[in-house]
A and B are shown apart, each in its own frame.
Chain A
Amino acid sequence: MTASNLQGRHRLGRVWLVVFQIALVVGIIALCALLFNILNGSFGFVAVEDTVSPESLAVNGVPLEDLDKDALVQILQAHISAGLYARYEFEKPFAERSAGEVYDLILERVIEPRFVAQWSLYETLTNGDAIRQQAAQEFPNARLEFRSWLNSHFLRAPQSSYPEIAGVRTAVLGSLWTISIAVLFAFPVGVAAAVYLQEYAPDNLINRIIQTNINNLAGVPSIIYGILGLAIFVRVLGQFTSGIAFGASDPATANGRTILSAGLTLGVLVLPLIIINAQEAIKAVPNSLRQASFGLGATRWETVWYHVLPNAISGIMTGTILSISRAIGETAPLIVIGASTFIQVDPEGPFSKFTTLPIQIYQWTARPQSVFRNLAGGASLVLLGLLLTMNATAIILRNRYRRSL
């Protein structure tokens, strides 16, 4: 038992162990900082001044939130000009509006809350009394309330230039639309390409060049894909991506800066990632299965369809999820494509103008008023939530596939 310098060798091992642990701690600190930063902006005290206090609008002691739609319409009618009321009636008859929609209108036009000051979560938690004093002195007409910037109104309201009533609905819908189109395009194309490269393509110079190029494409910066999308989908194929060719849009005003162009651009962006991941998944299917299948007199197609793909599908799905997670956070290519930074109407289909969550966040953080930073924090939480939901769904799907094998 006199191994040479055994102590020294163990010491080296311990040193490296510490290095690995430090690396992990650095990573965790970075993650915590990120979460703190988002949460810090998403919650906290705000000082709100109302033009008309909600309490004064209560009818017979019933608070405004609990009133039925007819009562809400009456309140609205009593507080806004007849012309404005007629305009709302013209846009969408009150008979068709829900109580929530009418309430939002009252909030916007009657109560007219204005945020005069807001504080971060950290300040709110550590310095609450000082904030209360300060608010009472500086804004005697304001009430101080704890606000979650991520709330149901925020999710359901469209974009607005008033931070008090702005929401992310248009952005969330835009993100869902673009990402759906990206998946619909990139998943079948990517998997088919991977099957060809892995199961059919002979090992020759041309296929090796193709393979190398796919690997390189996966590392191309996303803004380059944006320029590609602008050139191809927006300009060259503008007739199609705008919907003019299908008679779906008005040729006088429509252009190619649509959800379809954005979705296809994101699709092209993730295509190499999906191909590479699917290839790895297909490569991981043991060769003995292919041999067994061929040995029974199966064709190559039957072997791929009944054995290779079912065994690779969970890996393919994982790779696709990772790729889509990247795509949903992409901002740069969509700016190049021409995402609208300010849009209040919901996207109605692939030929609509659009904005997406990352664009919305970017636009809000770029505004001079600090209150929009809090909105950006809330929107970041929505984006994270969307990502987590998608990943969870995909993991559940993947596990189900794996169990059915």
Chain B
Amino acid sequence: MTDTAPTATATAAIETNDLSIYYGSFQAVRDVNLDIQPNRITAIIGPSGCGKSTVLRAFNRMNELIPSVNTTGEVLFRGQNIYKPDVDPVEVRRHIGMVFQKPNPFPKSVYENVAWGARINGFKGNMDELVHSSLQSAALWDEVKDKLDQSGLSLSGGQQQRLCIARAIAVRPDIILMDEPCSALDPIATLRIEELMRDLAKDYTIIIVTHNMQQAARVSDRTAFFSLSEDGKRAGMLMEYGDTKTMFTRPEKKITEDYITGRFG
């Protein structure tokens, strides 16, 4: 959608080297090599069960919360492998925020939802200001400025999801991961989130997993297409990765074209 083509020389925000992820002995993701461009929106698309969300959660070590998940290979963030033993996953997640599939605000006030993450991360500045600016960045301020002390759960689904985005922004991450953020929302709320993502891309690197190819085409600069390996082992693999425009008009591989044109998935 943007006219500025990503520059090849920019240092990658995240780079993976031979990233493989296992659930027990089952290899869910195989040998992914991907470099995410900074301040761009990268969409991860692919058929169900191809490991899109698993890859996304590997970027901030959220997979570790599921017992039996094992990760091999490297994920480089700021040139450092976040899977090195001396790296604290808590620190990783503070820099790489996450927005989930279903809006999951805390059962606390709107204000507290935004302030909490900043507070535990040692934010010492003016909290009111931070809440204000975060809600503003999430395009939610005007709707909630009079009900900051109401429960976050009292908002509508789309507002809740933007609250979750505001919450993620408030800890000042470098990268925001979004795991199908609009799949539980109606089309109008979806559109608002997509507009918001375009705005946020000025300041943040965004990686979004989506089932919706139109959405990927509308919002993303780069697209990574994942699919199952064809050797019958059903491991997710990166099939094609490039500029969204090129990918949706002139895909290199047949399988990509089949998926994009809706022949499977």
Interface of chain B residues 122 through 153 with chain A (CB within 8 A):
151
Q: Say if the beta carbon of A297 comes within 8 Å of chain B.
A: yes
List of B residues within 8 angstroms of A253 by Cβ: none
Classify chain B's interface size: 20 to 34
* One of B104, B107, B117, B168 near A298 (C-beta < 8 A): B117
Q: Say if the beta carbon of A118 comes within 8 Å of chain B.
A: no
Q: Which residue of A has the minimal Cβ distance to B89? A: A294
* One of B93, B108, B151 near A297 (C-beta < 8 A): B93
Interface of chain B residues 154 through 177 with chain A (CB within 8 A):
164, 167-168, 171
Interface of chain A residues 282 through 300 with chain B (CB within 8 A):
286, 288-299
Q: Say if the beta carbon of A96 comes within 8 Å of chain B.
A: no
User: Are A297 and B62 in contact, with the CB atoms below 8 A?
Assistant: no
User: Are A297 and B94 in contact, with the CB atoms below 8 A?
Assistant: yes
Q: Say if the beta carbon of A66 comes within 8 Å of chain B.
A: no
User: Shortest distance in angstroms between A253's beta carbon and chain B's nearest beta carbon?
Assistant: 55
In the bound complex, how far is the Cα of B167 from the Cα of A295, in angstroms?
Answer: 10
Given A307-B106, A405-B107, decide whether A292 and B100 contact each other with a Cβ distance below 8 A.
yes
List of B residues within 8 angstroms of A293 by Cβ: 106
In the bound complex, how far is the Cα of B171 from the Cα of A72, in angstroms?
Answer: 75
Q: Say if the beta carbon of A91 comes within 8 Å of chain B.
A: no
List of B residues within 8 angstroms of A292 by Cβ: 100, 104-106, 164, 167
Q: Say if the beta carbon of B236 comes within 8 Å of chain A.
A: no
List of B residues within 8 angstroms of A203 by Cβ: 67
User: Are B62 and A296 in contact, with the CB atoms below 8 A?
Assistant: no
Q: What are the interface flags for B70-110 relative to A under an 8 Å C-beta threshold, 1 for contact and 0 otherwise? A: 00000000000000000000110111011110101111100
User: Shortest distance in angstroms between A131's beta carbon and chain B's nearest beta carbon?
Assistant: 62
User: Are A295 and B100 in contact, with the CB atoms below 8 A?
Assistant: yes
In the bound complex, how far is the Cα of B98 from the Cα of A405, in angstroms?
Answer: 24
List of B residues within 8 angstroms of A288 by Cβ: 100, 102, 104
Q: Say if the beta carbon of A311 comes within 8 Å of chain B.
A: yes
Given A202-B67, A291-B62, A405-B107, decide whether A296 and B100 contact each other with a Cβ distance below 8 A.
no
User: Are B90 and A298 in contact, with the CB atoms below 8 A?
Assistant: yes
Q: Say if the beta carbon of B188 comes within 8 Å of chain A.
A: no
Q: Say if the beta carbon of B8 comes within 8 Å of chain A.
A: no
Q: Say if the beta carbon of A162 comes within 8 Å of chain B.
A: no
List of A residues within 8 angstroms of B164 by Cβ: 292
Q: Is the interface of A mostly helix, strand, loop or mixed?
A: helix
* One of A202, A291, A296, A405 near B116 (C-beta < 8 A): A296
Given A296-B171, A297-B93, decide whether A291 and B120 contact each other with a Cβ distance below 8 A.
no
Q: What are the interface flags for A298-339 relative to B under an 8 Å C-beta threshold, 1 for contact and 0 otherwise? A: 110010001100010000000000000000000000000000
Classify chain A's interface size: 20 to 34
Q: Which residue of B has the minimal Cβ distance to A297? A: B94
User: Are A291 and B100 in contact, with the CB atoms below 8 A?
Assistant: yes
* One of A202, A289, A297, A311 near B91 (C-beta < 8 A): A297
Q: Which residue of A has the minimal Cβ distance to B98? A: A295
List of A residues within 8 angstroms of B104 by Cβ: 286, 288-289, 291-292
Q: Which residue of B has the minimal Cβ distance to A311? A: B107
Q: Say if the beta carbon of B48 comes within 8 Å of chain A.
A: no
Interface core residue of A290, A291, A296, A302 (most chain B CB under 10 Å): A296
* One of A289, A294, A306 near B65 (C-beta < 8 A): A294
User: Shortest distance in angstroms between B67's beta carbon and chain A's nearest beta carbon?
Assistant: 6
List of B residues within 8 angstroms of A307 by Cβ: 106
In the bound complex, how far is the Cα of B93 from the Cα of A323, in angstroms?
Answer: 40
Q: Say if the beta carbon of B60 comes within 8 Å of chain A.
A: yes
User: Are B171 and A297 in contact, with the CB atoms below 8 A?
Assistant: yes
User: Are A296 and B94 in contact, with the CB atoms below 8 A?
Assistant: yes
User: Shortest distance in angstroms between A294's beta carbon and chain B's nearest beta carbon?
Assistant: 6
User: Are A297 and B120 in contact, with the CB atoms below 8 A?
Assistant: yes
Given A311-B107, A405-B107, A405-B108, decide whether A298 and B120 contact each other with a Cβ distance below 8 A.
yes
Q: Which residue of A has the minimal Cβ distance to B177? A: A295
In the bound complex, how far is the Cα of B121 from the Cα of A330, in angstroms?
Answer: 48
User: Shortest distance in angstroms between A369's beta carbon and chain B's nearest beta carbon?
Assistant: 59
Interface of chain A residues 367 through 405 with chain B (CB within 8 A):
405
User: Are A294 and B107 in contact, with the CB atoms below 8 A?
Assistant: no
Q: What are the interface flags for A345-368 relative to B under an 8 Å C-beta threshold, 1 for contact and 0 otherwise? A: 000000000000000000000000
List of B residues within 8 angstroms of A290 by Cβ: 65
In the bound complex, how far is the Cα of B102 from the Cα of A294, in angstroms?
Answer: 16
In the bound complex, how far is the Cα of B94 from the Cα of A119, in angstroms?
Answer: 76
In the bound complex, how far is the Cα of B102 from the Cα of A302, in angstroms?
Answer: 22
User: Are B65 and A297 in contact, with the CB atoms below 8 A?
Assistant: no
Q: Which residue of B has the minimal Cβ distance to A292? A: B104
* One of B102, B108, B117 near A296 (C-beta < 8 A): B117
User: Shortest distance in angstroms between A201's beta carbon and chain B's nearest beta carbon?
Assistant: 11
Given A203-B67, A288-B104, decide whether A295 and B120 contact each other with a Cβ distance below 8 A.
no
List of A residues within 8 angstroms of B106 by Cβ: 289, 292-293, 307
Interface residues, chain B, with chain A CB atoms under 8 Å away: 60, 62, 65, 67, 90-91, 93-95, 97-100, 102, 104-108, 116-117, 120-121, 151, 164, 167-168, 171
Q: Which 6 A-B pairs have the closest CB atoms?
A: A297-B94, A296-B117, A295-B98, A288-B104, A297-B93, A292-B104
User: What are 30 sample pairs from A and B whose C-beta atoms fall under 8 A apart?
Assistant: A202-B67, A203-B67, A288-B102, A288-B104, A289-B104, A289-B107, A290-B65, A291-B65, A292-B100, A292-B106, A292-B164, A293-B106, A294-B62, A294-B65, A295-B60, A295-B93, A295-B98, A295-B168, A296-B93, A296-B94, A296-B116, A296-B117, A296-B121, A297-B93, A297-B95, A297-B120, A299-B90, A306-B120, A307-B106, A405-B151
